[in-house]
Chain A
Amino acid sequence: MSQKPEKLIDKKGLRLDGRKPDELRKIKIEVGVLSNADGSAYIEQGKNKILAAVYGPRELHPKHLALADRMVIRCRYHMAPFSVQERKSPAPSRREVELSKVIRESLEPSIFLEYYPRTGIDVFIEVLQADGSTRCASITAASVAIADAGIPMRDLVVACSAGKVDDTIVLDLMDEEDKLGMADVPVAFMPNANAITLLQMDGTLSLEEFETAVNLSLEGCKKIYAMQKEALRAKYVLLKEDEE
C-alpha cells in the first residue's frame, strides 16, 4: 500500500495523520454488542477495530485448572487473518500467546478474584483490524466487557501507549510509528486506585525520555478512562430511557 514515509513528523511538528505529539487518536467504545456473551465491548481507536467478549464466572473446564481459593481468568488475544496487510495465519502465533498472557496479567489486579473460588472467566479478544497499540486498545475494551458482565472490580483498567518517533516523545502510536519509530512504551493503569498494571518498553529511551513517555501515557489513560465510563453509562442510561 504505502511506501516508507521519509519523515514521521513534519516541519510543523504534526504526525502522519495530522495529530499533535500529545494527541490521542479518535476513540469509540460500545458496550454490550454481543448478546451471547455475558459481557462485551467493541473499541475503535484510529484504524484499530477490536471486539472483546467475557463469559462467566462459570464452572471451569477442564476442572483441574480450578483454584480452591480464587477465580481463574483465561484470556485469548487473537488477530483475524484479515486484520493486517499480509494475511496472518489464524493459528495463535508466539506473539499472540505472549500478548494473551500480558493482557491477562494486566486485568487480574482489577478483579476481586477471591470472591468466587473454583470458578473461571474467559476473556476473548478478537482484533478485526490492527493499527498499532492493539494491546492497549484490547485491555481498554476487555476491562469494559468485564464490567458489563457484572463481575466485581476494584476499578476499570485503561491502557495507552507512548513512544519516541523522530526524536520526539509522542502519545498513542499508530502502526507506522510503531514499526518505524524508535521506542514504544505501553502502559495499563487503574486511575482511581492510581496503580499501574502493565508497563513494557520496546526500543531504547534515556531515563528522562522514559519518564516523559510514561507520564504522557498516563495522561492519555485518564482521557480514555472518561470514555470508558461514558460508554458504560451510555448503555445503561439508554436502557433506562427506553423503559420510560
Chain B
Amino acid sequence: MATYEKKQLVTPGDLIVEGDFIPGENTYADNNKIYASRIGMVDYENKKVNVVALRSFYIPKIGDIVIGTVVEVGFSGWTVDINSPYQAILRASNVLSRPFRPQKDELSEVLNIGDLVVATIISFDRSHDPQLTVGEPGLGKITRGQIIRITPTKIPRVIGRKGSMISVIKQETGCQIILGLNGVILVTGKNREDEELAIMAIRKVEEESHTSGLTDRITQMLKEEKAKREENKK
C-alpha cells in the first residue's frame, strides 16, 4: 500500500509505504512502515524503497575516488578537505614512492596548502577519519585543468547509465574528466575552449538531472556549440 508513488517528492517524516518492503537510502523503517528521512524523490527498486536526496553531503566510502584540497601540512602527512563532514588524512608514506625520512623530507615541497589532489579512500569507519592514498595510476597532485563543484548526490547522473553520459561528454569535447565522488570534478583538455564546453555540459546535467532523455540533449547541445565555434573561427 503505497502512499507515495515513484518520483514523488517527499519531506522528512513522510510515510512512503506500509507493508513488506526494505528501507533503502534516506529512509528508515518503524513498525513495518517506511518513512523518508530527507527531502527527495521516491524510487522503488523491487522491494527496496529509496529516496533520491535533493539535499545531501558527501560521506566517505572505502574505494571512492575523491578530489580534495590540502589544508594542513603535518609531521608525517597532510590533512585534506574532501568536502565532507570528515577531514581526510594523507600519509607521507602513501605519497612518496620510497620510505619516509622525517629528518630529510620536507613535506611542504611535495604537497603544500591549497594543492589539489586526486586520491582514493583506503579506510574509514565510525571512529576514524578517512585515510587517502595516491598510490595508483591517475592519482596524485593536480597540475593542470579546471575544477567544478556540484552537489555530491548528482555525480551518478553525470556518470549516466553504465557511464553513457560521461563518455559522451569526453568524446565530444576531447577532454579528460575525473569525477570525484565528493562532488568535485576535474576537467583537463587540450585548450581552454574544450574545457569550457565540457564544464557547460556538466552544469547542464546538474541543473536538469531529473529530466529524461538528457544524454541525447547533451550530445545535441555539444554538437551545436562546436558548430557555432567553427563558424566563429571562419
Cα–Cα, bound, A48→B180 (Å): 44
Cα–Cα, bound, A191→B85 (Å): 29
A150 & B56 in contact (Cβ 8 Å cutoff) = yes
A244 & B15 in contact (Cβ 8 Å cutoff) = no
- Stretch touching chain A among B6-14, B93-101, B184-192: B6-14
Per-residue CB proximity of B196-213 to A under 8 Å, as 1/0?
A: 000000000001101100
Chain B's nearest CB lies how many Å from the CB of A117?
Answer: 5
Tell me whether A68 is interfacial, beta carbon within 8 Å: yes
Which residues of chain A from 54 to 107 have any CB-CB distance to chain B below 8 Å in the complex?
Answer: 56-59, 68-69
For the A-B complex, the count of residue pairs with Cβ-Cβ distances under 8 Å equals 84
Cα–Cα, bound, A161→B206 (Å): 42
Tell me whether A154 is interfacial, beta carbon within 8 Å: yes
Which residues of chain A from 174 to 210 have any CB-CB distance to chain B below 8 Å in the complex?
Answer: 190-193
B39 & A193 in contact (Cβ 8 Å cutoff) = no
A116 & B85 in contact (Cβ 8 Å cutoff) = yes
Task: Kindly list chain A residues whose C-beta atoms are within 8 Å of the C-beta of B9.
Answer: 233, 236-237
Tell me whether A149 is interfacial, beta carbon within 8 Å: yes
Interface size on B, residues (CB 8 A): 28
B85 & A147 in contact (Cβ 8 Å cutoff) = no
Decide yes or no: A112 and B37 within 8 Å by CB, A59-B86, A232-B11, A233-B11 being known contacts.
Answer: yes
Tell me whether B4 is interfacial, beta carbon within 8 Å: no
Decide yes or no: A154 and B59 within 8 Å by CB, A147-B12, A192-B13, A232-B39 being known contacts.
Answer: no
Tell me whether B157 is interfacial, beta carbon within 8 Å: no
- Chain A residue at minimum C-beta to C-beta distance from B204: A243
Chain B's nearest CB lies how many Å from the CB of A18?
Answer: 32
Chain B's nearest CB lies how many Å from the CB of A224?
Answer: 14
Tell me whether A142 is interfacial, beta carbon within 8 Å: no
A39 & B55 in contact (Cβ 8 Å cutoff) = yes
Chain B's nearest CB lies how many Å from the CB of A78?
Answer: 25
Chain B's nearest CB lies how many Å from the CB of A243?
Answer: 5
B13's partner among A39, A150, A191, A243 (CB-CB below 8 A) is A191
Cα–Cα, bound, A192→B12 (Å): 10
Tell me whether B127 is interfacial, beta carbon within 8 Å: yes
- Chain B residue at minimum C-beta to C-beta distance from A225: B13
Per-residue CB proximity of B39-72 to A under 8 Å, as 1/0?
A: 1000000000000011111010000000000000
Decide yes or no: A154 and B210 within 8 Å by CB, A39-B55, A59-B86, A116-B85 being known contacts.
Answer: no
Decide yes or no: A153 and B85 within 8 Å by CB, A147-B39, A192-B35, A243-B208 being known contacts.
Answer: no
- Chain B residue at minimum C-beta to C-beta distance from A231: B11
Q: B-side interface residues toward A, CB under 8 Å?
A: 9, 11-15, 26, 28, 30, 35, 37-39, 53-57, 59, 85-87, 126-127, 207-208, 210-211
